[in-house]
Amino acid sequence: MQIHGFNKTTLLDYPKHLAATIFLGNCNYRCPFCHNSSLVLSPDSEPTIPEQDVLSILEKRKNILEGVCITGGEPTIHNDLPDFIEQIKSIGLKVKLDTNGTNYSMLEYLIKHHSIDYVAMDIKSSKEHYDRATGISNPQLSSVSSSVNLLLENLIDYEFRTTVVKELVCEKDIISIGQWISGARAYYLQAYKDSPDIIGSNLHGYTLPELKDFVTLLTPYITNVGIRGID
Ligand code: SF4
């Protein structure tokens, strides 16, 4: 497993858990708002941390930590992810997986084998605008939709989330997303913030009142909608 980042302690990445975060490189999307462009576009030029070093730190900290968040990049494009997760689970830590949902088969495998405890899946935009929001012409929507349906089965604790960028997600998209993931256990609108490491350019976020209006639009479809990243 090529690990490109390791945060030993965070309260932000795994809801209600004191966790460590592991960053894996590479991704099959090119979302213009992506804040980890170096991990996505040029992972081989990023420093790597040996897997054994990470596992031995987790072993030493297992009585302090409650879980591990695995993020990227897109973790599920790595075929050795299930084996890596098994090693973390054998330490006794819970695992939260961040994913764009394109690898339905691996997500299903991990859920059905009880290898993960929480999933945060991105919904990039409405189905109609998925290509624009992911920066690629074929965003594997059928696999993404299968992953959505799998999570809606409530076999595992999960959330959906969307980084809401003005140029990529409009009011109509928000309603379409609400209809798509209707009945979801939890959905978060993440405010977009500019950063020097994003893939695209000239992107803008919504204001807090605008995001609150989106929450109102989503209420007929999802009861638990939150806003993150803006006060
Ligand atoms: S934001 Fe998009 S490009 Fe960046 S890691 Fe996530 S899915 Fe990949």
CATH fold of the domain at 3-228: TIM Barrel (3.20.20)
Centre of ligand 1 to C-alpha 121, Å, is 11
Any atom of ligand 1 within 6 Å of the Cβ of 3: no
Any atom of ligand 1 within 6 Å of the Cβ of 34: yes
Q: Is the pLDDT of residue 228 over 90?
A: yes
Centre of ligand 1 to C-alpha 82, Å, is 20
Centre of ligand 1 to C-alpha 57, Å, is 27
Any atom of ligand 1 within 6 Å of the Cβ of 36: yes
Average pLDDT of the chain? 97
Any atom of ligand 1 within 6 Å of the Cβ of 74: yes
- What is the pLDDT averaged over residues 73-94? 97
Q: Beta 118-122 vs 187-191: how paired, if at all?
A: unpaired
Give percent of the chain above pLDDT 70: 100
pTM for the structure as a whole:
0.97
Any atom of ligand 1 within 6 Å of the Cβ of 139: no
CA distance 230 to 215: 14
Cα angle value 30/31/36 (rounded, 5°): 85
Indicate the top mutation candidate among 34, 77, 134, 193 to test ligand 1's pocket, ranked by most ligand atoms within 8 A of CB: 34
Residue closest via CA to ligand 1's atom 1 equals 34
Contact, 21 vs 71, CB < 8 A? yes
Indicate the top mutation candidate among 22, 24, 36, 198 to test ligand 1's pocket, ranked by most ligand atoms within 8 A of CB: 36
Centre of ligand 1 to C-alpha 65, Å, is 26
Q: Is the pLDDT of residue 196 over 90?
A: no
Centre of ligand 1 to C-alpha 36, Å, is 7
Q: What is the pLDDT of residues 29-56, one digit of tens each?
A: 999 999 999 999 999 999 999 999 999 9
Q: Is the pLDDT of residue 197 over 90?
A: no
Q: What is the pLDDT of residue 78?
A: 97
Centre of ligand 1 to C-alpha 71, Å, is 10
Domain ranges of the chain: 3-228
